[in-house]
Amino acid sequence: MKLAENILRFEEHFQNARKLVDRGITDYLVYNTLAMECFQAVNALIEIGEYIVTKKRVKNFVEKARGWKSETIFNHSHTPQRHN
């Protein structure tokens, strides 16, 4: 759901920025509003990228974990020994 929201958010800010460019950026208020719309669009893209990277990392972790054997996880042979 968060991914869909970010995609919609990006599209909204991108369209708003395109409308502002048509008005001309010589006006200070229009220029600042355009900068803010671009900033918000980039933030949405960053969140989309974070989602994709996280999903890929989780998928890779799950695939790797499926290959683990229980004796590998619970093997205590690598526990440091005390030397007296």
- CA–CA dist 41, 44 (Å, integer): 5
In contact, 41 and 13? CB cutoff 8 Å: yes
**H/E element holding 42?**
helix 28-66
Please give the pLDDT value at position 22. Answer: 84
Q: Which of 21-25, 30-34, 54-58, 60-64 has the lowest mean pLDDT?
A: 21-25
Question: How many angstroms separate the first and last alpha carbons of the chain?
Answer: 58
Contacts of 40 (CB under 8 A, 6+ apart): 9, 13
Mean pLDDT estimate for the chain: 84
Residues 21-42 pLDDT 10s: 888 778 889 889 999 999 999 9
Grade residue 13 by pLDDT with cuts at 50, 70 and 90.
very high
User: DSSP strand E in 1-84: where?
Assistant: none
